[in-house]
Structure 1
Amino acid sequence: MFIANRLKHQTCGSELARDSGGSVNINVECIAAIASKLAPTGVTGVMRFLLLAVALLLSACAGRAPLPEQNPDLPLPLQLHIQLLQPDDRQDWVLVIQREETGIRWSMMDLLGIPQARQKLIDKTWESDGFLPPNPQARELFAALLFALTPQEELAANYPGAWQYGRQRSLPERWDIRYAQPQNFELKLPHGPSYQVTPLSGETP
């Protein structure tokens, strides 16, 4: 109870900040300060380290984008045009989604064909594909697209708490989708950017 009260009233700059999906992102320096103040004078540095490690682990788990209980039945392969809807930052990408053994492969490139992000989704876990550096924003986008592309009849089983009414679908406090067609929609992040998604025709590169 003492620790809970100290954590509740502890403040240090912007130690708690909401990311684009509404999850808590805890500042590392703030966690260190909290751990230092929670630890009595006689407690060793090991205890402080453990407190910091636990807080960081909880923060990492909270920030992960939701994934379906099972990979939905998608009409793969798919090629999609992704457009970032920001007046001061126009960006376009091509996304190729392919089935690979037991997982799904996501490959995003710019309009010049330069790879931007590559990921594999296997057993509800993202794995890097190739030598591109980690891209948390791309993983969030891919997870949101997977939610948007999930067939309506599979929605309730894969995303408890999600709802769809007509051409609007939502995972509250995370993603909002407005459909023109099943593969033509606008994706909104509550505290982040919006994307326009449209299908591309042609052979998979």
Structure 2
Amino acid sequence: MSGPRHAAARKSVMQVLGQNRLRVWHGLIDDRIQMALDALQTSSAPDLVEDFANPVFRAITKPILGLHPSDLDRFDTLAPVLQDVLEPLLPMRQILQLQEVFAETMSLVSTGYARTEDAPTGAVSLQDHLQQNPPEGYDDADIAALVLVLYGARFQPKPYFGQCAALDPELAVGSATGCGGPGLDKHADRRNHVHLRITQIYLPACAKHPAG
């Protein structure tokens, strides 16, 4: 996607994912980060990506983008493949397989107004915003596809969250050593760092590059 169509999508996406527009989501973001830290601390074999980065990514990105799959497990299985839509010069066989995956994923997400029960008061998800204010030439299916591509393009969270989840070892192994109890308060600065990475780098990057 390029030219006027890309410009129209980018302008609309920035109205939701621009840094100044994300403030209304800060409470939800902090809550989801804390939930992931709690789960990480109680894990018997903590893994910063699987136990922290991936859950944080899914728990924050879905409500902000307005993704509410009808089959959550199936959606999470298919979602990592969505990033392949941005790969250039794929073999025809892989393109056909990708089309099947994309079609199935599209069927799992709503193409009307997204449910916004996760949205804080005053917050509007990206899909809701685009449905209410569609970019020129975009129908419901185009909007759903755009939101999915944004999710898929940034699906690999390790570059964004893995680095900022570099918590001190005693927190990562808290449950095993018995010293993890007060760890969350001690590492509040780390939690704030993750928050800043999400609101100032990751989500605004989606807005600046809506086609990936």
Q: TM-score range by the shorter chain?
A: under 0.3
Larger Rg: 1
Whose strand fraction is larger, Structure 1's or Structure 2's?
Answer: 1
Q: Structure with the greater relative contact order (CA < 8 A, sep ≥ 6): 1 or 2?
A: 2
Give TM-score, length-normalised by structure 1: 0.26
